[in-house]
Amino acid sequence: YDKERGVYPWEPIKYWNHISQFQPFPEVVNYIENEDGSLTLRVEAVFTEGGKDCSFKHEVTIKEQGEGWIYLGNMTEKDESYRILQYR
């Protein structure tokens, strides 16, 4: 922290200071149609770089509105949450 200028050191991310960040990608494996018209999607995080077909599981609830979908909530399974990758 630079007290005189009141700022932290910063520079834009470029090829020389970038850390590759492989993240799992979501795969919907099941869904539930809720009574209120919303959908709860059962999602598994596939992490090919880590050799896991399911790094962790979670549920996402969405509802159709107009010409799109709105997000209502997300819940990660606690038993599986220890496998969530840390951001670098």
Q: Which one has a higher pLDDT value, 82 or 72? A: 72
Answer yes or no: is pLDDT of 82 > 60.
no
Which pLDDT does position 28 carry in this prediction? 94
Which pLDDT does position 53 carry in this prediction? 75
> What is the mean pLDDT of the segment spanning 6-21?
81
State how far the Cα of 53 lies from the Cα of 45, in Å rounded to an integer. 7
State the burial class of residue 44 (Cβ atoms within 10 Å of its Cβ: 0-12, 13-18, 19+): buried
Give 26-78 pLDDT, tens digit per residue.
Answer: 899 999 999 999 999 999 888 776 666 777 889 999 999 999 999 999 998 77
Which pLDDT does position 86 carry in this prediction? 63
Domain residue ranges of the chain, discontinuous segments joined by +: 25-83
